[in-house]
Structure 1
Amino acid sequence: MQVTQTANKNVLDRVFKLSEHNTNVKTEIMAGITTFMTMAYILVVNVNILADAGMDRGAVFAATAIAAFIGSTVMGLLANYPIALAPGMGLNAFFAYTVVLGMGYSWQFALCAVLIEGIIFILLTITNVREKIIDCIPSVLKHAVTAGIGLFIAFIGLSNAGIVVNGATILALGNLKDPLVLLTIVGLLLAAVLIAKNVKGAFLLAMITISAIGMVAGLVELPKGIVSAAPSLKPVFLQALSVPAEQIFSLDMVVVVFTFLFVDLFDTVGCLVGVASKGNMLDENGKLPKAKQALFADAVATTSGALLGTSTVTAYVESAAGIGDGGRTGLTAVTTGLLFLLSLFFAPVFTAIPTQATAPVLILVGVMMASSLKEIDFSDFTNAIPAFLTFAMMPLAYSIADGIIFGIISYVVLKIATKRAKEINLSLIILS
């Protein structure tokens, strides 16, 4: 038995280069579980959003879980990065509320647009166009993206927990007497103490503890059973291929594909750069060593997700939670992917993880990622202003893509206006 376990560890060490990354099997698996628990909400949220577009709830649940499994596993095996993938927030809202409910097209039309986007991304990745986009972004903006994503996911955590709410002053402090808000604050303090004491698996321990407290206190619903049959994919499977030719070659299809393409492009680039920076995966020149493999995994996941029957699959900023828990290799991503696959059969348990347990993790990951601000030279306003716009606009506009756009355009304009155009390259100008 011991010999078998040792052999398995050696295989995993060779495949994922664990020793080279100063990590081990236990740490990577714990990190993968943590990442999954911070992402598990997508299994519920994506279903609710796409159901508004008229799609079958059970089929979308299955498509979401399988697409996340494929994307995360391909990322882990191909790029060896601890970055998990799943249908993206924002993109699923555009899918349901703009394309279907707003423009009046069928959800099959929207799936077809996602499929076309995925195929285009595969071509752009093979030709290194997407990799060049990552490489041309200056280091100051990469640090700003990291900090911005940290602020963004911290804001998501604060908002989800009800600590920050809509108010007369745009945003206001929530009702701190609300038992659910108090439960979140307890979780935040518990996770903070565990991290400060360098406890391994701090995030996971905090989430399990808060989930248990919430259920015992009657604040959180208990799982409705443990094991369930996997829902059928049939109602949505391959429906992206059922769209009439006249709709595929319409101007509206071009507009929809273009929107999916660019929002996904900047979201993925921002996530990869920000999360990779957090895990010290960028090289000495600030470049992502296996950007092509990572982007290819993203493109394959989007394409397969469309065929399965779900909206655009993208890299998840919540991966930073697993990295914060020690994840450094693709074994973390593969673990997350396998848990998504298992969720098909244990849906009642996985979907019972309350927001109050995951929100503290998002907030504290934001703290960790905000440390990138110290790398920015705020004495040079041609760097400081674009960096500020990048990290400020992400939470304020509720969009990683918008933050990157504000940062890149202002960076190029300021460098040219101050006669420092030599500091920017042609690729960045074109991107701007």
Structure 2
Amino acid sequence: MLADLKNLTKQAKKTELISGLTGFFAISYIIIVNPLILADAHIPATLSVFATIFSSALGCLIMGLFANAPIIITPGMGVNAFFTYTLVVGMHLNWQQAIAISIISSVLYMVVAFSKASEKLSEAIPQELKIGITAGIGLFLVTLGLEKAKLIQQGGSRALLAVGHLTDPEALLALFGLALTLVLYLKRTKGSFMIGIVVTSALGVIFNVGLQDPPKVSLVDLGKYSTILFQGDFSSIFSLKFLLAVFSMSMILIFESMGILEGLLPDTKKFKKTFEASSVATFCSGFLGTSPTVAAAESAAGIESGGKTGLMALVSGAMFILSLFFIPLLSYVPQAAIAPVIIITGAIMMQQLKALDFDDFSEWFPAFLIIVLIPLTGSISVGLAFGFAAYPLVKFAAHKTDKLNPLLCLLSLLFILQLICEAVLL
């Protein structure tokens, strides 16, 4: 990594710096949101905010130095919900047991990542499913961005979603930011995403729109952080409930990470190293007192800004550490400033759809399930499960079994088992 860094031109380093900043601001909400979700698992938010920052910074450091890839690592949205609302609230485990489940699952994740299994799994996945994963994550980002922009909201009895209040100052600010960022991007302006975030944030501060209350976090609380370190409770390791939870968590970590990395990496040759780095970061996160880390889908914002190397990840990691001292300043970056970048990034990822064969329904339908179910359920793993489960079925029905392989059929079965296990756990 260090040797590669020396070979970068001054302009390339500047691009990586801007990409790292863009990626960080796109995912910075995790510093506040993750502790709030984990609070429902009875992990004090004033302490888990440190766990979120340290696990993200460490993950980015590992990703940058070991894999030299432009991927930001943070506690995963969706994974943290599974940790809190399935393991703790639904199954009545304590958060220490949920941490133990995360640690064991991450060990299984590392076994897959550092063996030939990771490459064989990647090779076994058909191109159309990989396209579906990329487009599905893209559509997920679009819906997330629209929600942050307050351009959509939860619908009533007749619709899942409805148009937001377009007279809302935050929605108007987001529309301005979207128009500005889109024009800059189409004109191929260097740092278009970062410029959009800065200008929109400045307008938000001037007109007092979309500013959040600064989180009540003090570095004084850092002294108490040790109380949530190394707290995994393995006393129920051989119970059926514990083992089912480990299976489901392992499936989520392995295949959600694989799906995100397949969809994001600009250089697919880095997949193996990146997958390994992600697994190590996930393993460390449990000991740091938070739900598992994964590759952040919002890394796409930095990649679309030109990020190609691990320097982007290192810059984002450094920003996580700096945020320890400037957490209140994040309140001056409104969601309306971040949303346009997320929306445009998602739309760019959905361009992969052009590579699908829409005339072959047996190829299109499994990808379609992934694309629609990821944003509709808010879970990448659920979208993957339905898409992979459907693939062998449609190929058998279409008499195209030559497209199947034993490993893919095994994956399909495992995803079906995952859905059954999650239904039982809930």
Q: Tell me the TM-score normalised to structure 1 length.
A: 0.89
Of 166, 173, 178 in structure 2, the residue corresponding to residue 183 of structure 1 is 173
Name the counterpart of 2:143: 155
Of 227, 230, 249 in structure 2, the residue corresponding to residue 238 of structure 1 is 230
CA distance in 1, matches of 2:191, 2:281: 28
Name the counterpart of 1:305: 285
Offset at residue 193 of structure 1 (A):
0.9
Name the counterpart of 1:65: 53
Larger deviation: 419-428 or 150-159?
A: 419-428
Q: CA distance change for structure 1 residues 387 and 23 in 2, over 3 Å: closer, same or farther?
A: farther
Matching of residue 273 in structure 1 with residue 265 in structure 2: no
What are the residue-to-residue correspondences of 1:183-332 with 2, within 5 Å?
A: 183-221=173-211, 229=219, 231-232=221-222, 233-240=225-232, 243=233, 245=235, 247-276=236-265, 279=266, 281-282=267-268, 289-332=269-312
Offset at residue 371 of structure 1 (A):
0.9
| Equivalent residues of 2:214, 2:331 under 8 A apart | no
SS of aligned partner of 1:234 = helix
Offset at residue 296 of structure 1 (A):
1.5
SS of aligned partner of 1:290 = helix
| Equivalent residues of 2:210, 2:335 under 8 A apart | no
Q: Which amino acid aligns with 1:24?
A: A
Offset at residue 397 of structure 1 (A):
2.3
What are the residue-to-residue correspondences of 1:355-370 with 2, within 5 Å?
A: 355-370=335-350
CA distance in 1, matches of 2:260, 2:349: 12
| Equivalent residues of 1:143, 1:372 under 8 A apart | yes
Question: Residue deviations 1:184-238, cap 9 Å, x none?
Answer: 111111110110111111111111111111121112337859x963742212111
Matching of residue 27 in structure 1 with residue 15 in structure 2: yes
Larger deviation: 372-381 or 26-35?
A: 372-381
CA distance in 2, matches of 1:185, 1:115: 42
| Equivalent residues of 2:151, 2:163 under 8 A apart | yes
Q: Which amino acid aligns with 1:380?
A: D
CA distance in 1, matches of 2:189, 2:218: 34
Name the counterpart of 1:5: none
CA distance in 2, matches of 1:14, 1:38: 26
Name the counterpart of 2:370: 390
CA distance in 2, matches of 1:230, 1:16: 39
CA distance in 1, matches of 2:97, 2:331: 29
Question: Residue deviations 1:135-180, cap 9 Å, x none?
Answer: 2111122122111111110011111222111223221111101111
Offset at residue 68 of structure 1 (A):
0.7
Question: Residue deviations 1:10-56, cap 9 Å, x none?
Answer: x956248646xx97100001101100000100000001111122112
Question: Residue deviations 1:368-405, cap 9 Å, x none?
Answer: 11111111111122212222222122212222222222
Q: Which amino acid aligns with 2:342?
A: L
Q: CA distance change for structure 1 residues 422 and 16 in 2, over 3 Å: closer, same or farther?
A: farther
What are the residue-to-residue correspondences of 1:105-124 with 2, within 5 Å?
A: 105-124=93-112
Q: Which amino acid aligns with 1:130?
A: S
Structure 1: gaps spanning 5 or more residues: 1-10, 283-288
Question: Residue deviations 1:83-136, cap 9 Å, x none?
Answer: 111000111112122222222221111111111111111122222323322221
Matching of residue 144 in structure 1 with residue 124 in structure 2: no
Name the counterpart of 1:174: 164
Matching of residue 97 in structure 1 with residue 85 in structure 2: yes
CA distance in 1, matches of 2:92, 2:389: 33
SS of aligned partner of 1:349 = helix
SS of aligned partner of 2:92 = coil
Name the counterpart of 2:416: none
Q: CA distance change for structure 1 residues 222 and 406 in 2, over 3 Å: closer, same or farther?
A: closer
Paired residues in the alignment total 408
Offset at residue 415 of structure 1 (A):
1.8
Structure 2: gaps spanning 5 or more residues: 413-426
Name the counterpart of 1:127: 115
CA distance in 1, matches of 2:71, 2:318: 13
| Equivalent residues of 2:74, 2:295 under 8 A apart | yes
Identical positions, percent: 39
CA distance in 2, matches of 1:16, 1:58: 39
| Equivalent residues of 1:215, 1:222 under 8 A apart | no
CA distance in 2, matches of 1:117, 1:425: 26
CA RMSD of aligned residues (A): 2.2
Q: CA distance change for structure 1 residues 291 and 87 in 2, over 3 Å: closer, same or farther?
A: same
CA distance in 2, matches of 1:156, 1:222: 18
Question: Residue deviations 1:259-287, cap 9 Å, x none?
Answer: 211122221111101112xx3x23xxxxx
Of 302, 310, 321 in structure 2, the residue corresponding to residue 341 of structure 1 is 321
Matching of residue 408 in structure 1 with residue 400 in structure 2: no
